[in-house]
Amino acid sequence: MLRHAIAPSARYTKASNDVVRHPRLNSDAKILLLYIQGLPGDAICKPLSELARKLGIKGRAYQKAKGQLVEHGYVHEWRSQSEGGRWLTEQLVVNNPLTSEQARLLLRETAPASAPTGPPPSTRFPTVGEPTPRAAGGYKPVEDHSDKTTPHPPSEPESATGPTPTPTPQTTTADPAQLTRAERVLLSLRHSRRELHLGVSEAHALAVEAVKWFERGLSESDLRHALLAERPQEGVRSAVGFLRHRLIQKLPEPPVQHQPHERPPLRELVECAGPGESHVFRPLFGESECPSCCRAAAPTEPEPIPWRERIAGINGTPTALPAEA
């Protein structure tokens, strides 16, 4: 394949290759994101659906494109209720994927000072977990220089608040194999829900609580389903706090230990009172003779009458024996 491209000198949008080459965004989602990125400042006050209609993206196509952008962190929405009871929807579109917590911090920093400030959407509901230190304040996108040949590598982005403290691993006596299973389940949650992304040290610290599920007879599939079920409407502010809360609060009861069935004690041996040589047996219901002597003393049943004799007796005719050949 040959390629000939002329870089425009004006009226162009600088797009990230992470967006253009994203394997899980369809063409509608990419075009909508790039279109919004190139809009002037006075045009971004319109809702996302109205901007999509100008591109001909409507109905199910729009819902699918928007769902992909929300899933991968390019679009964030919050609903809040004003003092008059009217519901408002705030939308944030970014060209670099952000978590829900990073998006809220960025919205607070970029909101105009004259705009009415209300409680953030997450404060209207109880938040699970412990508060975490600010990790994404002052977020600034880093330009991608992977397509350029430079003598020096690109500099790493500096955090405004310093490195995030690493949770201290808890000392435990759990089986190392069980801890490894628990860490594998916790680290795999990010593939189903992006907001539950954990670091290795965070997963190691939470594995102590997750092992208790295995000790109570649950499988890896049961643990994963319990941690992913019932997605909160307000989102997850802290993946560590949210998962720790679920691991502790939804821990099932320990299995009931059934007592083994106790066999009745054996009866003592007694001497049989029947005829014959002296011998002992173990009675079941207080009998004085063993089963063999009881069967020997029982009256013998008469031999059954042949069917020919029974028919002859009924008809009153003598029995005729068959002639020998």
pLDDT at residue 116, as a whole number: 45
Give 229's contacts (C-beta < 8 A, 6+ positions apart). Answer: none
Look at 322 and 149; give whichever has higher pLDDT.
322
Tokens of 70: 């929300």
Phi and psi based region of residue 217 (left: phi greater than 0; alpha: psi -120 to 50; beta: remaining):
left
User: What DSSP state is assigned to residue 52?
Assistant: H
Q: Are 174 and 204 in contact (CB under 8 A)?
A: no
Q: Is 244 helix (H, G, I), strand (E, B) or coil?
A: helix
Lowest-pLDDT range of 3-17, 106-120, 184-198, 295-309: 106-120
pLDDT at residue 169, as a whole number: 47
Spacing of C-alpha 212 from chain mean position: 16
Rounded Cα–Cα distance for residues 196 and 243 (Å): 8
Assessment of whether the complete model's pTM goes beyond 0.85: no
Half-sphere exposure of 48 (CA within 13 A, CB side): 25
| Per-residue model confidence as pLDDT tens digits over 205-253 | 998 898 888 888 888 888 888 888 877 777 888 888 888 888 998 888 8
Rounded Cα–Cα distance for residues 168 and 271 (Å): 75
pLDDT above 70 (res 165) = no
User: What DSSP state is assigned to residue 158?
Assistant: P
| Per-residue model confidence as pLDDT tens digits over 171-189 | 556 788 888 988 999 999 8
- What interhelical angle do 200-215 and 176-187 show, nearest 10? 120
User: What DSSP state is assigned to residue 281?
Assistant: E
